[in-house]
């Protein structure tokens, strides 16, 4: 891990990433430290700052590349030149040699490439942080893509995760950072990241997402070719859509960008609330748009290695929170946060509601282009710190996905009203969930289990009553035992007092003559003290 840390520091120095830090926003002491840093003696080089950042992230490996991918979707938070350079991280990471990919595929399939495919292109179509993709054709004539995991990537990822754990444990030493629950967040991220290395899981996720959107005009998911899919190799139907980030091509074919942006929001909320199964890596490199029907555009989603889901409780709390935000009912938002345990039980709902109102009121009922999300996030962080709000690790993946969706919507149609697009969907979902239709659907879902248990209800009821009666008898026996112990202790106490008093009387009787002679010679204070001692000995 020490070697990995040294490599990270070397890459930072090599590409002079210190020059990207806005010194004017730092405290005076840190600003002085940066100005006196020995890194300033190194040449910056001829590359632009965006290219230097991209090359550094590529050199550091998949975890850093994923961070760059997320940044690339937020052009509102980055200077345009940096965002343009980071965009290539979505699908243009430097590939590993095609011959190496070919050998790895043959090792996984345990057969020659020519036996599995009628044609296999050694030059990759695209390359990302974890895997790269090659075009191929099956012997049946179907065009497919072959995804193969980068060799040796798990070792680098484990080193980075170990380093992140060390930093997280150091953060826990700072009281203010504990509410961020850094170790729990890293643990969730670790599980998600290593799931992405198992292409069997990605294939299963893809099949599930395809079933969820079967015959949907919103989203198309390509089919998996299971006979040739392995842990490090995935074979999938080839698609021919337009990359969602290719605005020139989308505009050239006359795509209805407003409808496309609104459908992106609808897809997100459908996955989260209807299916409770959402694609959690929705950066532009994984999203395409169909070429037919530009007036009724349909998304195409690939790379389902990272998916998320919520518990029923978190799902309900999240929906009710969002609806309360849309209705500007900040007291309800505060009450829900307290009820769900996301803030401490001692939090006063009216104070929390006032703080949330101050942050959120300026952003509602505005198009995305008019919202300063930097200020909003800063305000929310300050509110969270004031009320000791803890980070919820189970929601971090959802928040990351929402950031990607919001960045995509801003790029496609800046005038998109996120609130008005999402509000009707959530209201309809809550009505279906809590209304007669939701009750009937829940009853139908549970009907097989209920029908199985119905004949057993008399037996179960008898068993329950027997358990209640047994517990009642057991409690009665416990009470009687405690009462018996109390009576025994009381008798023992009385016997002890009698024994102590008898011993004292006997001792005084036997020693009466010497004591009387001794008492005649003592002053009255000594005699009073002796009498008090006798009284205390005879006392309980």
Q: Which residues are catalytic?
A: 281
Both structure tokens of 412: 């496609």
Judging by DSSP bridges, how do beta strands 143-149 and 131-137 pair with one another? antiparallel
Neighbours of 332 (CB within 10 A): 17
Which sign does the torsion angle of CA 301, 307, 313, 317 carry? negative
Helix spans in 15-48 (H):
28-35
Determine the Cα–Cα distance for residues 138 and 118; give it in Å rounded to an integer: 5
Report whether 352 contacts 337 (CB < 8 A).
yes
What's the rounded Cα separation, in Å, for the pair 279 and 402? 11
C-alpha closest to that of 227 among 206, 203, 208, 209 = 203
Q: What are phi and psi of 149, to 5 degrees?
A: -70, 140
Query: Quick one: how far is CA 20 from the chain centroid?
Result: 29
Tokens at residue 50, please? 């965006």
Query: Can you give the length of the chain in residues?
Result: 540
Helix (H) or strand (E) run with residue 112 in it: none
The tokens of 208 are what? 């599930």
* φ, ψ (nearest 5 deg) of residue 287: -125, 130
Contact call for residues 390 and 342 (beta carbons, < 8 A): yes
Could you tell me whether strands 299-301 and 219-220 are parallel, antiparallel, or unpaired per DSSP bridges? parallel
HSE (side-chain half, CA atoms, 13 Å) at 60: 28
- Which residues face 133 on adjacent strands? 126, 147
- Lookup result for tokens 């505060």: 334
């Amino acid at each position: 891990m020490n070697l990995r840390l040294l490599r990270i520091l070397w890459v930072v120095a090599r590409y002079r990433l210190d020059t990207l830090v806005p010194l004017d926003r730092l405290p005076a002491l840190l600003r002085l430290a940066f100005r006196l840093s020995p890194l300033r003696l190194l040449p910056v080089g001829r590359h632009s700052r965006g290219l230097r950042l991209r090359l550094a992230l590529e050199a550091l490996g998949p975890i850093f590349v994923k961070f760059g991918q997320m940044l690339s979707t937020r052009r509102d938070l980055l200077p345009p030149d940096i965002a343009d350079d980071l965009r290539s991280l979505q699908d243009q990471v430097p590939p590993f040699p095609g011959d190496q990919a070919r050998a790895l595929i043959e090792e996984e399939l345990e057969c020659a490439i020519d036996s599995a495919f009628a044609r296999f292109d050694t030059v990759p179509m695209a390359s990302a942080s974890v895997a790269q993709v090659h075009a191929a054709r099956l012997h049946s004539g179907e065009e497919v893509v072959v995804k193969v995991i980068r060799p040796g990537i798990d070792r680098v990822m484990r080193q980075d995760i170990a380093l992140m754990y060390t930093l997280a444990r150091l953060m826990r030493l700072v009281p203010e950072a504990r509410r961020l629950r850094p170790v729990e967040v890293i643990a969730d991220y670790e599980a998600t990241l290593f799931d992405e290395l198992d292409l069997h899981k990605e294939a299963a996720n893809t099949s599930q997402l395809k079933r969820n959107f079967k015959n949907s005009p919103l989203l198309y998911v390509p089919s998996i070719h299971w006979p040739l899919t392995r842990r490090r190799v995935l074979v999938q139907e080839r698609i021919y859509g337009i990359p969602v980030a290719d605005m020139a091509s989308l505009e050239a074919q006359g795509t209805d960008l407003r409808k496309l942006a609104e459908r992106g929001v609808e897809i997100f909320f459908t996955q989260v609330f209807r299916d409770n199964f959402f694609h959690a890596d929705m950066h532009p490199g994984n999203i395409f748009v169909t070429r037919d029907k530009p007036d009724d555009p349909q998304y195409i989603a690939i790379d389902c290695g990272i998916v998320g889901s919520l518990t029923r409780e978190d799902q309900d709390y999240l929906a009710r929170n969002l609806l309360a935000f849309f209705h500007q009912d900040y007291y309800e938002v505060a009450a829900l946060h307290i009820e769900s345990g996301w803030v401490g039980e001692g939090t006063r709902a009216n104070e929390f509601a006032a703080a949330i109102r101050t942050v959120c009121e300026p952003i509602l009922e505005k198009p995305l282009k008019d919202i300063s999300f930097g200020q909003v996030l800063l305000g929310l962080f300050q509110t969270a710190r004031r009320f000791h709000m803890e980070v919820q690790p189970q929601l971090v993946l959802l928040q990351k996905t929402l950031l990607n969706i919001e960045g995509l919507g801003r790029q496609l149609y800046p005038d998109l009203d996120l609130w008005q697009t999402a509000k009707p969907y959530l209201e309809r979902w809550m009505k279906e969930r809590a209304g007669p239709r939701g009750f009937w659907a829940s009853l139908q879902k549970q009907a097989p289990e209920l029908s199985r248990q119905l004949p057993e209800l008399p037996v179960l009821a008898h068993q329950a009553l027997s358990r209640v009666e047994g517990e009642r008898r057991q409690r009665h026996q416990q009470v009687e035992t405690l009462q018996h112990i109390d009576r025994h202790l009381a008798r023992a106490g009385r016997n002890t007092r009698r024994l102590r008093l008898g011993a004292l009387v006997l001792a005084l009787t036997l020693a009466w003559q010497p004591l009387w002679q001794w008492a005649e010679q003592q002053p009255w204070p000594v005699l009073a003290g002796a009498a008090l001692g006798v009284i205390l000995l005879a006392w309980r």
